[in-house]
Structure 1
Amino acid sequence: MAEVILVVGQVRRPHGIRGEVVVEVRTDTPEERFTAGARLLTEPAEAGPLTVKSVRNHSGSLLVRFAGVADRDAAERLKGVLLAVDSATLPDTGDPDEFYDHQLIGLAAELADGTRVGEVVDVLHHSQDVLVLRLPDGGEALVPFVGPIVPEVDLDGGRLVLDPPPGLLELG
């Protein structure tokens, strides 16, 4: 699989005078991504890479200090910078039925007989995960990402198999 850069946060603003910044978290695992010593890629690239020096929670916000960012002026220059990781550095989940969103997006959606019914274009995370399919007619369908409806995910083959209940793919 090609390298995929995954955004895990965005610098919102400086906090205080010692170089800390408020980070908007965009990952389910901030405790893994924002830990002392973690190296983060940046967009724009010339802003980094950045190495996390320290992390703390304050009034519901994540405050991060990066190595080499020692004062408010340096922190101010990071405002708006996206923080990211290379998907190749993500650990294997160890669970054959657990996937990262970027692994699912782009997969062909097929019925058991091989009929192509769409392509995964997004994954929504609510009380249960939901795949967003782009249908051949350009419409969309929402498919619960559960074993009985998605019995097979073939990453190497670039597809997943659906066993949808009647009417599911007709609902947009």
Structure 2
Amino acid sequence: MTDRVLVARIGAPHGVRGEVRLFVFTEDPAAILDYDPLTDATGRTRYRITALRAAKDHFVARFANVADRTAAEALTNVDLYVPREALPAPEDEDTFYHADLIGLAVEDEAGARIGTVTALHDFGAGDILEYAPALPGIRAKTLMVPFTRAAVPVVDVKAGRLVVAEAFVERRDPEPEAGEDKDG
């Protein structure tokens, strides 16, 4: 478990008056206003949102001490964090913070280690768990499985592990298709 949690990423400037696009990762995006101040990856630079409004697929935010487009451009791609203790406890046993899952051991149903969680994604059709495989014969740098109860029936954050159902475990690289070269 990490002591700081990523809650947003600053995007490109929006207009010329110092506003930026803001991509919020909290379950309730408006909750980003409850976390003051936010910090960057180093934990040393603090950011305070002074205005926030919804846009098509992001938010538009104004930060204190950012008065023009040049200052806003300097913030592009800055990740914003909050202390772990500032977040509410998960509501139930099926709710997890992504930060709590990153680094967990990935095991098969027999208990054999098959990898380590590297990321969680949501490409629009539900959460996807990405992990770095630890099995011989797998050349892929990472593998992905749906983050559903069917694919990942056990998540034990305290024990530092989760289980991927056998039907979703990749045991070796697939054979190349006819006419495909083995090296890619």
Instruction: Please state which band the TM-score falls in when normalised by the shorter chain.
Output: 0.7 to 0.9
1:154 maps to amino acid: D
Amino acid at match of 2:31: E
Distance 2:172 2:73 in 1: 42
CA contact (8 A) 1:141 1:170 kept: no
Residue number in structure 2 paired with 1:111: 108
What SS class does the counterpart of residue 31 from structure 1 fall into? Answer: helix
Structure 1 spans left out of the alignment, 5+ residues? none
| Percent sequence identity over aligned pairs | 24
Task: Extract unaligned runs of 5+ from structure 2.
Answer: 174-184
Distance across 2 between alignment mates of 1:15 and 1:104: 37
- Change in CA separation of 1:53 and 1:134 when aligned onto 2, cut-off 3 Å: same
Verify the 8 A CA contact 1:5 1:87 in the aligned structure 2. yes
Q: Which residue of 2 aligns with 1:84?
A: 80
RMSD: 2.9
Matches within 5 A, 1:47-86: 48-57=45-54, 62-69=59-66, 71-72=67-68, 76-81=70-75, 82-86=78-82
* TM-score, reference length from structure 2: 0.72
Q: Which has the higher strand share?
A: 1
1:147 corresponds, among 149, 158, 161, to 149
Instruction: Rate the CA distance shift 1:113–1:96 in 2: closer, same or farther, 3 A.
Output: same
Deviation string 1:73-124 (CA, Å, 9 cap, x unpaired) is xx52242421412250222231211112221121111123321111112222
Q: SS of the residue aligned with 1:131?
A: strand
**1:41 corresponding residue in structure 2:** 39
Cα deviation, residue 59, structure 1: 6.9
- TM (norm. structure 1) is 0.76
| Shift of residue 37, structure 1, vs aligned partner | 7.1
Q: 1 CA distance for matches of 2:153 and 2:169?
A: 15
User: In the aligned structure 1, how far is the partner of 2:57 from the partner of 2:130?
Assistant: 31
- Give the SS at the match of 1:64: strand
Aligned partners of 1:133, 1:37: CA distance in 2, in Å? 30
Q: Is the 8 Å Cα contact of residues 132 and 141 (structure 1) preserved in structure 2?
A: yes
Q: Secondary structure at 2:40's aligned position in 1?
A: strand
| Structure 2 Cα separation of the partners of residues 106 and 85 of structure 1 | 18
Structure 1: how far apart are the matches of 2:127 and 2:56? 29
Question: How far has the Cα of 1:152 moved from its partner?
Answer: 1.3
Report deviation, 1:55: 1.6
Q: Distance in 2 between matches of 1:50 and 1:5?
A: 15
79-88 or 149-158, larger mean C-alpha shift = 79-88
